[in-house]
Amino acid sequence: MYAVIRHHRVQGAAVEELARQGREDFAPMIKTMPGFVAYTIVAGQDMVSTVSIFEDKAAAEESTRKAVAWAADKVTDFDVPTEVIEGEVSIYETA
């Protein structure tokens, strides 16, 4: 498996707005991608982070292309500096 972590630095009300847009708009799109395993949004003090997990690197890279296109189209109301971390999943456990 392969993961992509996107860390967005935002302030104030933009935290909840970015999380809402991700939940309502991006999450449904990414779930339909081949190789999709999981997607999580974590919203906190001046940041929104997402973790996307895919079966392989190619699917994860495609999700990054879709995320860039989605952000260019949908996240236009505020500047969102983004840090992206990608890599092999070392351990994946669920309940």
Nearest CA among 88, 87, 85, 80 for reference residue 22: 80
pTM higher than 0.75, yes or no? Answer: yes
Q: How many CA atoms lie within 13 A of 13 on its CB side?
A: 2
The pLDDT value recorded for residue 58 is 96
**Interacting residues of 83 by C-beta distance below 8 A, sequence separation 6+:** 6, 7, 9
Structure-token pair, residue 50? 């997402």
Mean pLDDT, 10 residues at a time, over the chain (95 residues)? 90 82 90 95 87 95 88 68 88 88
Q: Which CATH number applies to 2-85?
A: 3.30.70.100
